[in-house]
Copies of this chain bind each other. A is one copy, B any other.
Amino acid sequence: MTLDNLLKTLHTAKCRMTSQRRTIIDVLLANENTLLSADHLLKLCQQKNPDINTTTVYRNLELLDALKLMYTVNIDRNTMGYKLVCHDYHHHHMICLICGKMEAIEYCPISPDLIDQATARGFSITNHNLELYGYCHTCHTDLL
């Protein structure tokens, strides 16, 4: 996701650019490969701009989500993780259990065969999710 792309989409949607929104976008771009909780995002934003509010963060995440610019997934039992979408084609990710770093896997191992098996058992499959979990290089090294 590029800044230009973001700005263009926002402009098309008649959204205005505020200092708060700009900060949020900058932080999201600087962490485009990491799943952030709303709270973590807020803290990162506040380092650049103390004038930023929890509600504003949530509302901007909601906006970006509505514009299909966000990838959101549960981090744990009760917290969502947010990051900007990376590609517009179907793909999967590997995710670091410690720092939330996500790397795209440009490959989908779901075969038509598997879908057929499901169909044969009465399920009509519409989508799927697949994530590999583990430790990124940095966090793995830190563990030792």
Which A residues are within 8 Å of any B CB, using their own CB?
Answer: 74, 77-78, 80, 94, 96-97, 103, 105, 107, 109-111, 114-115, 117-118, 121-137, 140
Contacts and interface: CB of A to CB of B under 8 A. Distances in A.
Nearest to A107: B114
Contact of A117 (B105, B111, B117): B105
Nearest to A78: B78
Residue of A74, A127, A130 most packed against chain B (CB within 10 A)? A130
Number of identical monomers bound together in the oligomeric complex:
2
A111 B136 CA distance: 20
B128 A128 contact: no
Nearest to A108: B109
A133 B126 contact: yes
B128 A129 contact: no
A132 B120 CA distance: 14
Contacts of A114: 105, 107, 109, 132
A137 B128 CA distance: 18
